[in-house]
Structure 1
Amino acid sequence: MSHQNIALTKDARSTSLEQALEALETEFEVRATFPAEVLAEAERAIKDFELPAIDRRDIELVTIDPASSTDLDQALHLERSGQGYVVHYAIADVPGFVALGGALDSETRLRGQTVYLPHRRISLHPEAISEDAGSLLPGQDRSAYLWTFTLDAAGAVTETTLERAVVKSREKLSYVGVQESLDAGTASELLQLLREVGIKRVDLERQRGGASLRIPSQEVECINGTYTIVSAPPLAVEDWNAQISLMTGIEAARIMLEAKVGLLRTMPAPAEKDIKIFRLEAKALGTVWDPAQPYGEFLRSLDLNDPRQLALMHRATGLFRGATYTAIDGEVPEDVIQAAIAAPYAHTTAPLRRLVDRFSLLICSYASSRQEVPEGLRAVLPTLPKLMGDSNRLVNTIERAAIDTVEAASLAHRVGERFSAVTLTGIDDARSKNGSPATGGTLLVKDPAVMAPFEGNAAAGVEVEVELVHADLATRKVLFKIIEA
């Protein structure tokens, strides 16, 4: 993973940046503090919490997250079983702390999810739960919803069980550390099995016709007062670990569909017109797409080190539209597929950080034990799609604004300097007005990893030299101009 360090330590510039980041919370009306009654209810829930009777502390679970994470939702363990595998996947028992209809429940519905900002994290739940009592921290007895999957030699699920049990994570691992140990050949058997199963699950996804965007993420980290923009494709271990979560979500959706009650994450297949447009864009960028090759396979084949193919991957976002949540209660809609996964799917593995997962866990727990889902729980389901839709829009907006803020602050003193960049859109994307030539587009600067508009003539997917002509912290606007393409 590449890190571009932005030298903003404790000086006047960093003070202005800190103030600008803090101002985002007011501008976007983020619920940054918890009401007293919510905190009091959380404290009582922790004090009165009783561990379940089922004891699974003998399973040597580990967590794999970003190194700085303390809100740990999932812990896993893998082992061989004949020609196949057994996967244990423990999910934090957030439902055990949040009483349906209580003050904490109401507050989480208003928040929807945790907001990750460069200067701080605004949690869905009080930190006493999200980063302590409810988090699957190593060496601690914790209550969890423990999924146990039996897989065949190909990695396909043949049996699933779900129970609420006491677990204990043995170790908190980081993605970078795990990837390094796997690459060096020093990884434990558990991690080697994660790679083995993850690769097989990716192959099953490929066979289903699933697809995923591999756009390098653009995130901001703050370490010891220095802000860092991180932009890199995900590590391989992140994909393998995600496959365990996807497998759980697919099984959760199957349980809900069989019970005819639940909440699915759905997305329609790309419209034929969008596929046709994307094919033309691929051709324009010089990439051959075999008509017989599914779009998911084509996206996997793109080399993101090639500027044209990186630009094309960004164009592929047009194929991933319309994701939403679909509530089910008694009548199953005709289309319940999440097209990118190519299967019915439910969010159920991140209850500390996302509202809907708590309800999914409860429904799966009732349904898998053949108990009737309580009416009070069912009554909440129709309200969740809008709550999560509103939350997703807010979080996407404020996190983008935070990145724009850091970019503008980091570049404000560098106006007039030249940078190397790759164009993501260009003159082939713009439309001329009043007969004048179309100009401008969007580019990605290589260092620091800034995504911003440019003015001038350049096609998409080319390496360019640009000059920074504008960077303003107050407006969060950055603009480059093409010097040489």
Structure 2
Amino acid sequence: MVIRRVVAPRIDFGELRRELDLPEVFPPAAQREADEAASRTALPSADRTDIPFVTIDPPTSRDLDQAMWIGRRDGGYRVHYAIADVATYVRPGGELDAETWRRGQTVYLPDSKVPLHPVALSEGAVSLLPDQERAAVVWTIDLDSSGDTTSVRLERARVRSRAKLNYAGVQADADAGRLPEPIAALPELGKLLAERGFERGAISLPLPEQDIEPDGTGWRLVLRAPYPVEEYNAQISLLTGMTAARVMLDGGIGLLRTMPAPREQAIAKLRAAAGALGVEWPDGAPVGRVVAGVDPASPPAAAFLDHAAELMRGAGYTAFDGKVPDDPGHGAVAAPYAHVTAPLRRLADRYATEVCLALFADAPLPDWAGAALPKLPEVMASTDRVAGTAERAAVDLTEAVLLSGRVGEEFDAAVLDLDDRPKRVPGGMIALDEPPVRARCEGDLPLGERVRVRLVTADPQQRRILFTRAG
């Protein structure tokens, strides 16, 4: 559901694209390759169009990477998860391949996106749009009633999605008990997988998202809490990523998404913060369950979640061939994990998927894929920084424009975090009640409590906002 929204004036995000040196168009040779591949590439011979796949994405999305079907089977579950088969359409060593390496991933800005692949592929021939036959890599994962994986199958096949669903509609159908057959078991399996995640130590932050949406000639700054079905949907992606990681670790070659496990002292610090903020932490409860159970609309809980985010630092990619990494796990997933479910939007997924296909078929890994693995961690780290900077800068710019005419006004806010650097002016991070802005505030602040603050700076040129505690 939408928690709060406010309309900002017309904003030009073009300066951000220029500042980050984001490409405006694809080179002509790369575009030609994409157009030719879209019109000429043959679909796989294996036919899985009888499976009634559906996609679940934001309403305006057209770059659809995943489609799913979930059913109950022999007291357990069967998951069919179709992933857009990008590798079939991108010629290794070609101009399009080279351009995707320069881009690394799709970068999203409010007024447009800088896609990893030309739209002829990403929103056309490769996207799993409804009522179209498409090339896909299909994972079939069987689980028992406790959520343990009992068998896995992987193949290239042609598929046909039956419907393009969105989160709001799926949540409404789930609440009304009328989910369509292909995902009728999604809430049940999603809850089971989430529970297993808590048991092994997984952490997922239920933070509201700050989104920027068009509103006539202006923009809406929206603070939106995630729907429960978004978490269930994410659990299917996590299941597939963990399955892919196990395939690669068993095969001795691959590309993992890794992150250090939270340090014990960091968890102890979070537990102390919970006590100070009045967040209940039952004896023996894993950190993930505590985090998932708080209400982010409560100021003390929001401050607690801000602290919990510190547990989830240092994510990257780890390539290996022969020697398995000493620490192959992902701290937030609490298991080995790989990115394989978004190849239209992430370069790494195309190569990790190719490794899994080769290992599953007991076939040699194509030379082009094997040679790429050692280079991918650095490329993905660089493009992760660019994508993260673009997202944060767009929000900062929108917030600064929104508040630029209100310097001197006072607002109600909640204190999320306090500075711990000794040379910095005392202060911390606050979240305004209205508009939904997060910014730095100077002054003596009580963590997790509500305060009155005064806006002293709102500079769109520098994308900078500063408050001071009122009174």
Taking structure 1 as the reference length, the TM-score comes to 0.93
| Change in CA separation of 1:164 and 1:405 when aligned onto 2, cut-off 3 Å | same
Cα offset, 1:430, TM superposition: 4.2
- Whether 2:373 is the aligned partner of 1:381: answer yes
Instruction: Show the counterpart of 2:451.
Output: 464
Distance 2:110 2:376 in 1: 28
Q: SS of the residue aligned with 2:67?
A: strand
CA distance in 1, matches of 2:141, 2:330: 21
Instruction: Name whichever of 412-421 and 252-261 sits farther off.
Output: 412-421
Distance in 1 between residues matched to 2:417 and 2:55, nearest whole Å: 39
Equivalent position SS for 1:99: coil
- Could you list the structure 1 runs, at least 4 aligned residues long, displaced by more than 6 angstroms after superposition: none
Match of 1:447 in 2: 434
Displacement, 1:237?
A: 0.3
User: 1:213: Cα distance to partner?
Assistant: 2.0
- Aligned equivalents of 1:433 and 1:110: distance in 2? 40
User: Take 1:432 and 1:59, find their aligned partners in 2: how far apart are those partners?
Assistant: 60
Give the superposition deviation at 1:193.
Answer: 0.6
AA in 2 matched with 1:457: D
Structure 2 unpaired stretches of 5+: none
What one-letter code is carried by the residue in structure 1 that aligns with 2:167?
Y
Aligned positions, number: 471
The answer to whether the Cα contact below 8 Å between 2:68 and 2:182 also exists between their aligned partners in 1 is no
- Cα distance, 1:45 vs structure 2: 1.3
Work out whether 1:392 is the aligned partner of 2:365: no
Q: CA, structure 1 residues 408+60, in 2 after alignment: closer, same or farther (shift >3 Å)?
A: same
Q: Which residue of 2 aligns with 1:74?
A: 66
Is 1:25 equivalent to 2:12 in the alignment? no
In the alignment, residue 34 of structure 1 is paired with which amino acid? F
Instruction: Verify: 1:477 aligned to 2:469, yes or no.
Output: no
Aligned to 1:406: 398
**Deviation per CA, 1:227-254, whole angstroms, max 9, x where unpaired?**
1222233210000000000000011111
Q: Name the SS of the counterpart of 1:55 in structure 2.
A: coil
* Residues in 1 aligned to 2:7 and 2:333: alpha-carbon distance in whole angstroms: 40
CA change 1:407–1:201 in 2 (3 A) is: same
- Give 1:38-437 correspondences, 5 Å limit: 38-290=30-282, 292-426=284-418, 429-430=419-420
AA in 2 matched with 1:483? A
Asked if 2 retains the 8 angstrom alpha-carbon contact of 1:3 and 1:229, the reply is: no
TM superposition shift of 1:288: 4.5
The one-letter amino acid paired with 1:463 is R
How many angstroms does 1:460 deviate by? Answer: 1.6
Query: What secondary structure sits across from 2:256 in the alignment?
Result: strand
- Show CA shifts across 1:302-333 (max 9, x none): 23232112101111122112211110111112
Cα 1:224–1:147 shift into 2, 3 Å: farther
Q: What secondary structure does 1:90 align onto?
A: strand
**In 2: Cα distance, 1:372 partner to 1:111 partner:** 28
- Contact 1:418 1:468 (8 Å CA) reproduced: yes
Q: Distance in 2 between matches of 1:50 and 1:174?
A: 29
Quote the offset at 1:3 in angstroms: 5.5
Q: In 2, Cα distance between the equivalents of 1:259 and 1:228?
A: 48
Of the structure 1 ranges 307-316 and 458-467, higher mean CA displacement relative to structure 2 is found in 458-467
Indicate the SS of the match to 1:414: coil
Measure, in 2, the Cα distance between the counterparts of 1:398 and 1:174: 25
Secondary structure of residue in 2 paired with 1:475: coil
Rounded to whole Å, the distance in 2 between the matches of 1:124 and 1:235 is 27
- In the TM superposition, residue 285 of structure 1 has moved relative to its aligned partner by 2.4
Is 1:5–1:227's contact at 8 Å kept on the other side of the alignment? no
User: SS state of the match for residue 304, structure 1?
Assistant: coil
> Hey, what's the Cα distance between the residues in 1 that align with 2:327 and 2:299?
37
How far off is 1:432 after superposition?
5.6
Deviation of 1:433 after TM superposition, in Å, equals: 5.3
- Percent identity over the alignment is 45
Mapped to 1, the partners of 2:261 and 2:438 lie a distance apart of 28
**Helix, strand or coil at the partner of 2:147:** coil
- 1:7 is matched with 7
**CA shift in 2, pair 1:431/1:130, >3 Å:** closer
> What per-residue deviation string (whole Å, max 9, x for no partner) do you get for residues 274-322 of structure 1?
2233233333323353563332232223232321121011111221122
**What SS does the aligned partner of 2:456 have?**
strand
SS in structure 2 of the partner of residue 7 of structure 1: strand
TM normalised by structure 2 equals 0.96
**Residues 199 and 286 of structure 2 are in contact (CA less than 8 Å); yes or no, is this contact kept in structure 1?**
no
Alpha-carbon distance in 2 for matches of 1:293, 1:86: 30
| SS state at 1:413 partner | coil
- Measured against aligned partners, the alpha-carbon deviations of 1:18-68 in whole angstroms (never above 9, x if no partner) come to 1xx101111111123211111011112112200111111111111000111
8 A contact 2:454–2:467 mirrored in 1: yes
TM-superposed CA distance for 1:155, in Å, is 2.5
- Paired residues of 2:6 and 2:222 also in contact (CA < 8 A): no
Q: Secondary structure at the match of 1:52?
A: coil
CA pair 101-213 structure 1, distance change in 2 beyond 3 A: same
